[in-house]
A and B are shown apart, each in its own frame.
Chain A
Amino acid sequence: MALNKPTPPIIQDPTPFATEVIAQLSSKFSLLNQENQYGSWAIQVSPADYFSVVSDLKSRHHFTMLTDLCGVHYVEPEPVLAVVAHLHHLPERSRVFVSVHLPMDDPSIDSLVSLYDAANWMERETYDFFGIIFKGHPNLVRILNEDSMTVFPLRKGFPLEDATREDKDDRMFGR
């Protein structure tokens, strides 16, 4: 056994279909960032373009499945809340991740419910944990946390455990 450094991961190329789709998208919209994430294209668009990009991917390129939608709280270089929509083209076996960065003081974005019914609960979950407002959502209320909660627990500032609690013995495990 010897100490060794981790090897850099092997990253596949995205499918030619996905690359072609991204090329067509970039001629129509301005993509702020484009990155190969382990074999799938991840693009970042502006909040104003977000809905039309997803709508274009669905109607023109037939990305019929919204696999998932989630929020991310980036704290560096500057704090932003991100929304990532995972789109999937089933016959071509291609995924595209569309992300959008929103300012902390006004995290609002167009809802995808009119395009994908599946977005309903995904957006409610994202609102529940990150406080991102989805404009045009039919029922934007908390889903997993209790209704009376006032904080958004997956934001980085929210502590995992209440630091003031006294019912745990700290001497052994240094909580």
Chain B
Amino acid sequence: MTPDKKTVTVNLGPTHPATHGVFQNIIELDGERIVEAESTVGYIHRAFEKLSEHRPFYQITPITDRLNYCSSPINNIGWHLTVERLLGVQTNKRIDYMRIIIMELARIADHIVCNGILGVDSGAFSGFLYVFQQRESIYEIYEEICGSRLTTNIGRIGGFERDFSDVAIAKLRHFLDEFPKVLSEFESLFDRNRIFMDRTIGVGAISAERALAYGFTGPNLRAAGVDYDCRVAEPYSGYTDFEFDIPIGQNGDTYDRYLVRNQEMWQSLHLIRQALDAMPDDDYHVHVPEFYLPPKAQVATVMEALIYHFKVVMGEIPVPKGTVYSAVEGANGELGYYLISDGGRSPYRLHFRRPCFIYYQAFPEMVKGALLSDAVMTMSSLNLIAGELDA
């Protein structure tokens, strides 16, 4: 450090408890004010795009789990929808509604993490504990549906690998009864909390124009006052059948992002209830034998089933040539899959549009002139997931 240098360089990260993931921020401090910030990413890059070029379509689902691992089911289903769009597969209402239920559960789980941790970063630990118990309930529902919890690999191309069991439905109903109470309690702890409001209002604010320029999507963009939501703008999976509101904020600051996420959880609950009530009795997968493994019992007795089993596992399935972009509303923004198929067993090129990779570049601008402790709050409220950011 040169003697005439007035600022101090602080490394926030890569492994700092306040960064919730492997992020490095090189921050120039003048006292407690941030003069300049620079973000470094890529610490957990795992070459998913290259890997995808060497995997059959169904084997890419577990790769997508590891993008935004707080809401893996949305990534899985987003990928299935992309392939179905390429193949021209039409799913029935039961599959659509099952997907909506799972995707909205995942959205709630993701927002629980983000808002719960936001409370912890501002010094309030109890709210986090209350809602995390409910996240556990969601994971138990996943477990009942697909057998795993965090990296779910839920569903298949063309539907689901099994139907919702009675236990799953019972757990879902139980969650729908219990969660509203906890969420109300959580809101009453934070919404009008003097300390929380002082720590978040006006912190890390971004205007709608700047947010759009930086490619913000999801709750972060809606907190700035732009009502863009993929579920409405480009409806998929039967979202048009239900009524729900898109909550938007005004100031684009940390407090608005917190409020938008909370309101989205209420809307997700509303959607799950509607979908659960409207779910018709039908098959839980469509007839796409080229991509959907036949029942095990048939493989040993029916010749076609054995053929398809072999073809699916080996990935020896002809697919149409074409380029397709398909987007779903992930928990932190528009999650897009840009898929180029040359008719081969694996994608010719697959690009993931990861929302937080794109909006994280606004971070230096958002924290410039703020206090160091505000940088932690801003970062926490952006809902950055290292796995998704680094792909």
Binding site for B on A (CB under 8 A): 1-4, 6-10, 35, 37-38, 40, 42, 64-68, 70, 72-73, 84, 86, 90, 93, 95, 97, 116-118, 120-122, 125, 129, 142-146, 153-154, 158, 160
A161 to B49, CA, bound (A): 14
List of B residues within 8 angstroms of A1 by Cβ: 289, 294, 298, 302, 304-305, 308
A168 to B90, CA, bound (A): 42
Q: Which of A3, A64, A116 has the most CB of B within 10 A?
A: A3
If the complex has contacts A1-B305, A65-B212, A67-B353, are A160 and B54 also in contact, measured as CB distance less than 8 A?
A: yes
List of B residues within 8 angstroms of A116 by Cβ: 213, 215
Given contacts A38-B324, A42-B323, A70-B338, 5 further A-B contacts (CB under 8 A): A6-B290, A116-B213, A144-B390, A145-B45, A160-B53
A2 to B288, CA, bound (A): 11
Contact with A along B238-261 (1 / 0, CB 8 A): 000000000000000000000000
Cβ-based interface call for B207 (8 A): no
Do residues B340 and A9 form an inter-chain contact, with CB atoms below 8 A? no
Do residues B213 and A129 form an inter-chain contact, with CB atoms below 8 A? no
Do residues B304 and A3 form an inter-chain contact, with CB atoms below 8 A? yes
* A-B interface, 5 closest residue pairs, ranked by CB to CB distance from nearest: A9-B88, A118-B215, A144-B42, A70-B351, A144-B45
Do residues A68 and B54 form an inter-chain contact, with CB atoms below 8 A? no
At the interface with chain A, which of B66-74, B110-118, B179-187, B355-363? B355-363
What are 30 A-B contacts with C-beta separation under 8 Å? A1-B289, A3-B307, A3-B308, A6-B290, A6-B318, A8-B88, A9-B86, A38-B85, A38-B322, A65-B212, A67-B334, A68-B215, A68-B338, A68-B351, A68-B358, A70-B338, A73-B349, A86-B325, A86-B353, A95-B325, A116-B213, A116-B215, A117-B213, A121-B360, A125-B357, A129-B49, A144-B41, A144-B42, A153-B50, A154-B49
A72 to B320, CA, bound (A): 19
**Main secondary structure on B side of the interface with A:** mixed
Do residues B320 and A8 form an inter-chain contact, with CB atoms below 8 A? yes
List of B residues within 8 angstroms of A6 by Cβ: 87-88, 290, 318-320
At the interface with chain A, which of B7-15, B226-234, B377-385? B226-234
Among A2, A4, A70, A121, the residue within 8 A (CB) of B361 is A121
If the complex has contacts A9-B88, A68-B336, A143-B42, are A118 and B214 also in contact, measured as CB distance less than 8 A?
A: yes
List of A residues within 8 angstroms of B85 by Cβ: 9, 38
Do residues A118 and B213 form an inter-chain contact, with CB atoms below 8 A? yes
Shortest distance in angstroms between A84's beta carbon and chain B's nearest beta carbon?
Answer: 7
Binding site for A on B (CB under 8 A): 41-42, 45, 47, 49-51, 53-54, 85-88, 90, 210, 212-215, 226, 228, 233-234, 289-290, 294, 298, 302, 304-305, 307-308, 318-320, 322-327, 334, 336, 338, 340, 349, 351, 353, 357-358, 360-362, 390-391
A4 to B318, CA, bound (A): 11
List of A residues within 8 angstroms of B390 by Cβ: 144
List of B residues within 8 angstroms of A153 by Cβ: 47, 50
Do residues B391 and A66 form an inter-chain contact, with CB atoms below 8 A? no
A67 to B304, CA, bound (A): 43
Q: Which of A9, A35, A142 has the most CB of B within 10 A?
A: A9
List of B residues within 8 angstroms of A64 by Cβ: 212-213
List of B residues within 8 angstroms of A121 by Cβ: 357-358, 360-361
A93 to B327, CA, bound (A): 13
Shortest distance in angstroms between B330's beta carbon and chain A's nearest beta carbon?
Answer: 13
**Which residue of the partner chain B has the closest CB to A126?**
B351
List of B residues within 8 angstroms of A154 by Cβ: 49-50
List of B residues within 8 angstroms of A37 by Cβ: 322-325
A175 to B5, CA, bound (A): 55
List of B residues within 8 angstroms of A125 by Cβ: 357
Do residues B226 and A90 form an inter-chain contact, with CB atoms below 8 A? yes
List of A residues within 8 angstroms of B362 by Cβ: 117
Do residues A67 and B47 form an inter-chain contact, with CB atoms below 8 A? no
Do residues A72 and B349 form an inter-chain contact, with CB atoms below 8 A? yes
A158 to B85, CA, bound (A): 29
Do residues A160 and B50 form an inter-chain contact, with CB atoms below 8 A? yes
A145 to B338, CA, bound (A): 21
A90 to B51, CA, bound (A): 32
A125 to B338, CA, bound (A): 15
A64 to B324, CA, bound (A): 21
A29 to B318, CA, bound (A): 37
List of B residues within 8 angstroms of A95 by Cβ: 325
Shortest distance in angstroms between A18's beta carbon and chain B's nearest beta carbon?
Answer: 13
Do residues A38 and B361 form an inter-chain contact, with CB atoms below 8 A? no
A65 to B210, CA, bound (A): 11
List of A residues within 8 angstroms of B349 by Cβ: 72-73
Shortest distance in angstroms between B252's beta carbon and chain A's nearest beta carbon?
Answer: 15
